[in-house]
Structure 1
Amino acid sequence: MTPRLPTRLWVEALVHRAQVAGAAGFIVQHGDDARGDVLLKVARLDGTAAVYTPTMNMDGERIFLNLRVQGIGPDEKDVDRYVTRARQRDSDLWIVEIEDRHGRHFLTEDVDEGL
């Protein structure tokens, strides 16, 4: 298992990747700088969105899961309700929102899309 970057640096890199590619990236909630978990919302600017959360794969590596597999989304209001509940549960949670018409998440980790 490879060591993880402090969350603050990881989030800043994610937002930067999105902005360089022409999308908008925002930190909606600032979590714990060192070890806070991240919830990523990707808004497609057409009323739909996706939300991604970190999890572990069978090899113990950090990956992200598209919560569509749990019935959250693609309606943006549904995603926003989930994000609001997550914010209330965990004050150390980072909430990052990317606005991208193509729905790109800009994660470099593997992503389970539930396909």
Structure 2
Amino acid sequence: MRVTSDLWVSALLRRVFGAGGFAAVVKRGATEAGAVFVLARGRLGEVALFGPAPQTSYDSAKPDDRFFSLLGAGDDAAVLDARLEREKKFDPDIWVVEIEAGTVPVEELISVKTP
């Protein structure tokens, strides 16, 4: 059984804070099954947006895991913010979590699948 989005986001916040980083829920979505987007900010101004991975990325042996894919990265946060606004218009139940991971790579905090 897959955990709720609310519980998963709470666990992510604890992992980030436990690793010495900072995290905040920018937009709270549907408690049970809202899609989660992670906006990762670096200390030098770089930004990366991670969103739910395509269904083909999921392993049938572990169907309850949450996987993410990189949707965009760079120094221009406005481009990624615009992408999030489009996602919000498409699905108003999404979660947006902004993190500054600190010394731990984002890939250690969330499961990132590369295409």
Partner of 2:48, secondary structure, is strand
Structure 1: any 5+ residue segments left out of the alignment? none
Which consecutive residues of structure 2, in runs of 5 or more, have no partner in the other structure? Answer: none
Identity %: 29
Match of 1:9 in 2: 7
Q: How far has the Cα of 1:73 moved from its partner?
A: 2.0
Residue pairs, 1:23-34, within 5 angstroms: 23-34=21-32
Residue 51 (structure 1) shift: 0.8
Offset of residue 103 of structure 1: 7.0
What is the aligned partner in structure 1 of residue 38 from structure 2? 40
TM-score by length of 1: 0.79
Displacement of 1:27 in angstroms is 0.4
Paired positions, count: 106
Aligned equivalent of 1:59: 59
Q: Offset of 1:98 from its aligned partner?
A: 0.2
Matches of 2:95 and 2:20 in 1, distance apart? Answer: 22
Q: Which has the higher contact order (CA 8 A, sep 6+)?
A: 2
